[in-house]
Amino acid sequence: MTASSALPYQRLHVELDARRYPIHVGPGLLDAPDMLVPYLAGRQVMIVTNETVAPLYLERLKRTLSGDDRDVRDVREVILPDGEHTKTLASVERIWDALLAAGFNRRCTLVALGGGVIGDMAGFAAACYQRGVAFVQVPTTLLSQVDSSVGGKTGVNHPRGKNMIGAFWQPRAVLIDTGTLATLPARELSAGLAEVIKYGLIQDADFLAWLEARMPALRGLDVEALTEAILRSCAIKAEIVARDETEQGQRALLNLGHTFGHAIEAHQGYGNWLHGEAVGAGMLMAAALSQRLGWLAADDMARVETLVADTGLPVTAPAAMSADDFLATMRLDKKNIDDRLRLVLLSSLGEACVYDDTPSDMLESLLADFPRA
Ligand SMILES: NC(=O)c1ccc[n+]([C@@H]2O[C@H](COP(=O)([O-])OP(=O)(O)OC[C@H]3O[C@@H](n4cnc5c(N)ncnc54)[C@H](O)[C@@H]3O)[C@@H](O)[C@H]2O)c1
Ligand SMILES: O=C(O)C(=O)C[C@@H](O)[C@H](O)[C@H](O)COP(=O)(O)O
Ligand SMILES: [Zn+2]
């Protein structure tokens, strides 16, 4: 971070009937037992992390969770390999194996320490272990802080499609220590900013304009700008999830750019392209299609292109991917109903819709014409 933060920690809530849970945001929260311990189900705690994040933050979290003489907890860890390609059922089995080896019961809590890959897998492991145990999200990438730690989508990839195996399973709390962003590689920061831009595009034109002005500060790790981006993003996500927890309707708007992006990720074998990068290119494809439908003006399209480029994200699709490659994966997308492709498109900047009537020749020509590199 470029500035040491005088900001206090802040808190939002996800309002899900009786299952309201907090999102704590602030610097140094990894060291704050008050923000974590009240959300544990019992004395058994399994931290799920990976080999990149463990050397950075595991010991601090263990100290915070371990308790004192009066209140001792059994805190274990499972350290998984790193990378999107490891987001598989086999990795989740390693979590279950560790839980059983430790003799953990239904009153245990899983704590996900890491990015979205760890959070999605730990959440899914928690959803299934002994038919469901508590879990807490401690996200350490920008992407996981603004998106994946909130809302309860958990799961793993399948070679044929992204997040194809999973469950909705909400965390008991989300603890966002903004200090962890200091160690995040610049490329991962840009990937996280893709999901931040998404919120502006789908429902907040003012936020979009703020992002255009503040992108250099965000990429420069300005702590106040990042904190504001996290709070505004989480507020939008929490509000959409509260309206439509299991994606019966409006939650699908959070999928802007993902139908195209998931096709890129699956085609690449979940390597090379980061999720946020694929979403960045996918949002450009969705915007370009919206322009062809006559919904987005050329000036608006240019604003989206400039913002995505200024974020350091790819503005082209992979050279090796044909229109048919895109369509093969897009046909398996979870949003589709019967044979109809449902895409999230932009009705204007700051407003999105789910649309299932795109003329197939228009989509095919967009997929063929979109720039490749
Ligand atoms: N559940 C949801 O709602 C949701 C939403 C968005 C994305 N996702 C999923 O999230 C995943 C992407 O998440 P991601 O972008 O966090 O990727 P990631 O989990 O792979 O993390 C990115 C990289 O950063 C490293 N890292 C994590 N924290 C770090 C830190 N503080 N300092 C240094 N390195 C650190 C990780 O080890 C990894 O190498 C995808 O699988 C995507 O499908 C899920
Ligand atoms: O929370 C949601 O809903 C989202 O769609 C957020 C997305 O950013 C995220 O990538 C999510 O995992 C995609 O879900 P999927 O159902 O399309 O696999
Ligand atoms: Zn996403």
ipTM value of the model?
1.00
Query: Do 37 and 131 share a domain, yes or no?
Result: yes
Task: Answer whether residue 1 is part of any domain.
Answer: no
- Which of 135, 148, 244, 259 to probe ligand 1 with, by most ligand atoms within 8 A of CB? 148
Token digits of residue 340: 């109809």
Task: Answer whether residue 326 is part of any domain.
Answer: yes
Query: Do 199 and 146 share a domain, yes or no?
Result: no
Give residue 343's domain range. 189-369
pLDDT for 205-252, tens place per residue? 999 999 999 999 999 999 999 999 999 999 999 999 999 999 999 999
- Alpha-helical regions (H) of 244-296: 258-267, 275-292
Cβ neighbours, 10 Å, residue 298: 8
- Is 85 labelled a binding residue? yes
Identify whether the C-beta of residue 62 lies closer than 8 Å to the C-beta of residue 48: no
Please give the sequence-ordered ranges of beta strands (E in DSSP) within the chain, or none if there are none. 10-14, 21-26, 44-50, 74-80, 109-114, 134-139, 153-158, 161-168, 174-177, 343-348, 351-355
Domain C-terminal end among 138, 162, 183: 183
Active site residue: 255, 265, 277, 292, which one?
A: 255
Task: Answer whether residue 26 is part of any domain.
Answer: yes
What are the backbone dihedrals phi and psi of residue 109, each rounded to the nearest 5 degrees, phi first?
A: -130, 130
Task: Answer whether residue 347 is part of any domain.
Answer: yes
Instruction: Tell me what pLDDT residue 50 has.
Output: 99
Which residue in this structure is represented by tokens 């708007």? 253
Q: Which ligand is nearest to the CA of 124?
A: 1
The CA–CA distances, whole Å, from 143 to 118, 226, 356, 360 equal: 12, 12, 28, 32
Identify whether 188 is a catalytic site residue: no
Identify whether 219 is a catalytic site residue: no
Does residue 5 carry a pLDDT above 70? no
What is the total residue count of the chain? 373
Q: 254 C-alpha to center of ligand 2: Å?
A: 6
Instruction: Tell me what pLDDT residue 71 has.
Output: 83
Identify whether 62 is a catalytic site residue: no
Does residue 344 carry a pLDDT above 90? yes
The CA–CA distances, whole Å, from 313 to 102, 174, 188, 208, 231 equal: 42, 27, 10, 16, 22
pTM, entire model: 0.97
Domain C-terminal end among 157, 183, 209: 183
